[in-house]
Amino acid sequence: MAQTLQDFENLVNGKRIAARGGQWLDSYDPYRGEPWARIPRCAQSDVDDAVAAARAAFRSGPWPAMTPTERGKLLVRLAGLIERDAERLGRLETQDNGKLIAEMGAQTRYMAEWYRYFGGLADKIEGRVLPMDKPSRFTFTRHEPLGVVAMITAWNSPLLLLSWKLAAALAAGNTAVIKPSEHASVSTLEFVSLFEEAGFPPGVVNTVTGLGPDVGAALASHPDVAKVAFTGGDMTGQKIYEAGAPSLKRVSLELGGKSANIIFADANLDAAVMGAVSGIFAASGQTCIAGSRLLVHRSVHDEVVERLTEVARTAKMGNPAEPGTQVGPVTTQPQRAHILKMIEAGKADGARCVMGGGTPKDPAFAQGWFVEPTIFTGVSNDMRVARIEVFGPVLSIIAFDDDAEAIRIANDSPYGLASGLWTRDIGRAINASRAMESGTVWVNTYRAVSFMAPFGGYKRSGIGRESGQESIYEFLQTKTVWFETEESTSNPFIIR
Ligand code: NAD
């Protein structure tokens, strides 16, 4: 018997609504490979409604009249509500995107800290009184919000990645229209209810769901959107950049990667092997910061491969909703098809598949969208599996002979999101961290993030930074105010 699907509606101007056209999209449970919920399939008119609500809330009513301290208090109150509901939100994410409850639950709990941190920062954004080269002028700067910020997000960590944008944007005084991924919208639709409970005025946070090329594109080109903050693939990021160009929108882009995780000969191999596993298999590889290229010094190469396959082989595949599961399904069918195609490309290009290499044979996993954890050795950096983002549990191991070669290979990529260095030599760590063309470098750790630590990409991995104090300026613009303090009339035909 077909399962009854739960309907989740958008939030616009404080009201729950379906799409104007009455259309819906199914949302799938990747573990069962079947739909479990429906979300509104919106169109341009729905985007217009959501943007109009956000624009009205930005321009009039209680939100623009609030002091930064009041806005900060709302964000801190919201953080408490998130902690109360973190487990429920984490379970929704697991059902919708198939990632482990251990991971999604940890993310939904941790995301509260972004609201607390930026809530605290809201009233510490100070302008400056300028010393001025013109003595009769009193001149100061102030930082003002931009207006309506569109937030378009990916399916892999829906609420955490949204929070990196939303907490800073609201602390700065903007309003928001959120377009979550069509593959995992449910947690966002449930989460936004907490804003009303925390006391945010209606219209400050709105959602619009649907397909990227319809709703995402309409939002990215909307003339009343001041900025688009995006997380997703680099090709989509490029389209968003182009869509925003005619209205000169600000754009910040958190895009994909092909991050190099480098194990030097002097590394603590126990820690390095665990770091390599967490870099690629933790979220079935569905993380922008996946350490998908493992560069290993030739002298320890065979030992690392042996230890790594030993750990990866014992990883427990199963239902992502069970706390003991270590490898869950991948989120979408097209994504699984892409991963399997990349595995075939690795084989065809001459890499050696030493583990995995397809879908699991166990019939228990036949229905869900599983891919085996896969390890390639003998990879050279020009193979497709080393150049294209797989976004799945596929590790490419590349051997190197000296530091210069490791750095050259690591930087020989169109991407530059993150990198990892495993060494006990402090000089080597400092020199290599300086040489890495990536927005984040981890030394003797991997896949660590914090609300305090700026995050973003070099090269095709993105524009702008999220998290950390400086990221709030991505959502602010500077106004300079001039006063003349003397009653003099100067020559109007020369610059004053
Ligand atoms: P995606 O680019 O396919 O989709 C992301 C979002 O963009 C979705 O909401 C989608 O509906 C929307 N979209 C699609 N086409 C659009 C268009 N033409 N105009 C406007 N919006 C459009 O990415 P995905 O498959 O959901 O996520 C995986 C990608 O995200 C990977 O490349 C991954 O590396 C990247 N990612 C980056 C970060 C980061 O912080 N740097 C974090 C997570 C994921």
**What is the full DSSP assignment across 248-275?**
T-EEEEE-----EEEE-TTS-HHHHHHH
Residues with CB under 6 A from ligand 1: 152-156, 161, 179, 181-182, 212-213, 216-217, 220, 231-233, 236, 239-240, 254-257, 288, 389, 391, 417, 457, 462
What are the structure tokens assigned to 373, written together? 């954890």
Instruction: Grade residue 8 by pLDDT with cuts at 50, 70 and 90.
Output: very high
Q: Each residue of 98-130: pLDDT tens digit?
A: 999 999 999 999 999 999 999 999 999 999 999
What are the structure tokens assigned to 232, written together? 């997703």
Mean pLDDT for 52-59 is 98
Q: Each residue of 390-404: pLDDT tens digit?
A: 999 999 999 999 999
Instruction: Using alpha carbons, select from 455, 469, 474 the residue that is nearest to residue 151.
Output: 474
Mean pLDDT for 466-483 is 98
Residues forming beta bridges with residue 253, ordered by sequence position: 230, 463
Q: Which of 96, 208, 236, 259 to mutate to test the pocket of ligand 1 (most atoms within 8 A of CB)?
A: 236
Ligand 1: centre distance to CA 253 (Å): 10
Q: Could you tell me if 389 and 341 are in contact, meaning their C-beta atoms sit under 8 angstroms apart? A: no
CA atoms within 13 Å, Cβ hemisphere of 3: 14
Mean pLDDT for 448-458 is 98
Largest CA distance in the chain: 88
What are the structure tokens assigned to 495, written together? 């610059």
Q: How far apart are CA 26 and CA 42, in angstroms?
A: 13
Residue with tokens 């060494």: 423
**pLDDT at residue 179 tops 50:** yes
Cα distances from 436 to residues 262, 389, 459, 490, in angstroms, run 11, 19, 12, 54
**Whole-structure pTM value:** 0.95
Ligand 1: centre distance to CA 8 (Å): 21
**pLDDT at residue 232 tops 50:** yes
Instruction: Grade residue 1 by pLDDT with cuts at 50, 70 and 90.
Output: very low
Length, in residues, of the chain: 496
Residues forming beta bridges with residue 482, ordered by sequence position: 139
Instruction: Using alpha carbons, select from 314, 326, 383 the residue that is nearest to residue 349.
Output: 383
Q: Which of 288, 451, 467 to mutate to test the pocket of ligand 1 (most atoms within 8 A of CB)?
A: 288
Give the ligand 1 atom nearest the CA of 210.
11
Mean pLDDT for 18-26 is 98
Ligand 1: centre distance to CA 236 (Å): 6
Q: How far apart are CA 84 and CA 81, in angstroms?
A: 5
Mean pLDDT for 262-289 is 94
pLDDT in the model for residue 68: 98
Q: Closest residue (by CA) to atom 40 of ligand 1?
A: 254
Q: Closest residue (by CA) to atom 12 of ligand 1?
A: 212
pLDDT in the model for residue 488: 77
Mean pLDDT for 215-222 is 98
Mind telling me the catalytic residues?
A: 254, 288
Instruction: Using alpha carbons, select from 352, 327, 334, 265 the residue that is nearest to residue 301.
Output: 265
Q: Which of 188, 211, 231, 466 to mutate to test the pocket of ligand 1 (most atoms within 8 A of CB)?
A: 231
Ligand 1: centre distance to CA 153 (Å): 6
Mean pLDDT for 282-293 is 92
Ligand 1: centre distance to CA 171 (Å): 24
Residues forming beta bridges with residue 178, ordered by sequence position: 151, 207
Q: Each residue of 322-369: pLDDT tens digit?
A: 999 999 999 888 999 999 999 999 999 999 999 999 999 998 888 889
Mean pLDDT for 211-227 is 97
Q: How far apart are CA 267 and CA 406, in angstroms?
A: 14
Give the ligand 1 atom nearest the CA of 335.
25
Ligand 1: centre distance to CA 233 (Å): 4
Instruction: Grade residue 2 by pLDDT with cuts at 50, 70 and 90.
Output: low
pLDDT in the model for residue 495: 84
